[in-house]
Amino acid sequence: MFGKILIANRGEIAMRVVRACRTLGIRTVAIHSDVDATAPHVRFADEAVCVGPADPRRSYLNIPQIIAAAEITGADAVHPGYGFLSENAEFAELCRRCGLTFIGPTPEAMRLWGDKVRAREAAKRFGLPLLPGTTVLRDAEDAAVQAARIGYPVILKAAGGGGGRGMRVVRDDSEIRRSFETATSEAQAGFKNPDVYLEKFVEEPRHIELQVLGDGHGHIFTFGERECSLQRRHQKIIEEAPSPVMTPEKRAELSEVCAHALLETGYTSLGTLEFLMDERGNLYFMEMNTRVQVEHPVTELVTGIDLVENQIRAAAGQALSLPSGRALGLRGHALECRINAEDPRTFVPWPGLITEYLPPGGGGVRVDSGVYGGFRVPNNYDPMLAKVITHGATRAEAIARMRCALDEFVIGGIRTNIPLHQALLRDPDVVAGKMSTRTIERLRF
């Protein structure tokens, strides 16, 4: 097992890794920017190193500074969390060259599964269902020809990343060329990779994802699916496990085909395969995230498996023995609400001083947080402050506990999106489990 891990991240995910390391008896090193000097992950790590100013390009994305911090503190490994450098194959490769274990998949696996076009090709090779689509488009004219072949509406997607950047829905030929130029510009700015491709666009899809973990000893574990349909502009808002519309038979079938594909490509570490489900219940592979997901706690609560702890064990070379696939017994239902510092109606970020902070508690309630009362939320990073996760014997019980938890959650001095969550959990379609990725567009509160 590692003696010391450097955590190349901030906020609640950095605290999550600190806790997992403490459980395993591993010392931790927190990196931070100057505006995060008083953040919880800095306080609770065993050591801390400032790697630059607030601008993430000069701190949390500053690879030379992060590698130097690991070497100076004698860290054995680097945990990237999610976001920032978590899916950067060059960073993972540099860690390896410097004698540091990157707690994630190999650079080769990241290049295969992290590139959406290559991932589609691999998925097709191993029998995962795919929407009609293309490889990387040459230019705007190629985009127009391919869109006409597939049939409108289509969606342009960045090959090198996600989160809504480099993504454009196109409904007719008059939009395709302009949308291609916009998408490539966004892809270049967001991922330093202008490549985009096309897929057939599903009007009212559900977003379903499958959690996996490989241990490097010939084992691929699958831990069931999550429902992530409640999202705005491709950014998830509420997640849950299991999905209200998945059957045990469909779950087992999906788990087996995904496990086979990942085993054949030598995948190790945590990963998530994402799918769209159309109105008829058909699933289509969309992409893979080669890292721990924001929403991993809902899977932890319904499986009883600590995903981050086992990710670290796998990175240290241990062979894991975990229930998986058909042998996995899901326990009840879990929901997660992402609490962001933003106006709940306009979604404008709302940084500032948190004057009061009182998180909820009680049975079946978990809060993963990266802030406290008196902490000043900077305007340089993602606005997520915390995640509220609830667990119940049934979906109805998990929703009831979440409503109580949101009512109890006090965050003073700034605006948050808690009212949005409260409105969603009162919406009849959401309560009935009949949501799609467009549900929030229609919400009025």
Q: Is the peptide bond before 242 cis (omega within 30 degrees of 0)?
A: yes
Q: Identify the three-state secondary structure at position 133.
A: strand
Pairing of strands 77-79, 101-102: parallel
Measured in Å, how far apart are the chain's first and last C-alpha atoms? 50
Q: Give the residue from 162, 168, 436 showing the smallest Cα distance to 289.
A: 162
Phi, psi of 185 (to 5 degrees): -65, -45
DSSP-derived secondary structure letter, 103? S
Q: Average pLDDT of each block of 10 consecutive residues along the chain (445 residues)? A: 98 98 98 98 98 98 98 98 96 98 97 90 92 93 95 92 82 94 92 91 95 96 98 94 96 96 96 94 94 98 98 98 93 98 96 98 97 97 97 98 98 98 97 96 91
Which of the residues are catalytic? 291
What is the rounded distance in angstroms from the CA atom of residue 6 to the CA atom of residue 140? Answer: 44
Place of tokens 């990710």: 311
Burial pattern 268-284, b for ≥16 Cβ within 10 A else e, equals bbbbbbbbbbbeeeebb
Q: What is the pLDDT of residue 169?
A: 94
**Whether the Cβ atoms of residue 356 and residue 411 lie closer than 8 Å to each other:** yes
Q: Give the residue from 254, 242, 258 showing the smallest Cα distance to 283.
A: 254
CB atoms within 10 A of CB 374: 12
Encoding tokens for residue 84? 């920032």
What is the rounded distance in angstroms from the CA atom of residue 409 to the CA atom of residue 339? Answer: 10
pTM, full prediction: 0.92
Edge to edge, the sheet with strand 283-289 lists 283-289, 269-277, 206-214, 220-232, 235-241, 333-340, 384-392, 365-369
Length in residues, the chain:
445
Q: What is the pLDDT of residue 172?
A: 93
Pairing of strands 352-353, 376-377: antiparallel
What is the rounded distance in angstroms from the CA atom of residue 387 to the CA atom of residue 5? Answer: 24
Distance set, CA 201 to CA 121, 410, 439 (Å): 19, 40, 16
Q: What is the pLDDT of residue 29?
A: 98
Q: What is the pLDDT of residue 165?
A: 80
Question: Residue 2: CB partners within 8 Å, gap ≥ 6?
Answer: 26, 76, 77, 101, 312, 315, 316
Q: What is the pLDDT of residue 161?
A: 73
**Whether the Cβ atoms of residue 74 and residue 105 lie closer than 8 Å to each other:** no
Encoding tokens for residue 280? 């008829």
What is the rounded distance in angstroms from the CA atom of residue 205 to the CA atom of residue 224? Answer: 19
Q: Give the residue from 212, 330, 207 showing the smallest Cα distance to 276.
A: 207
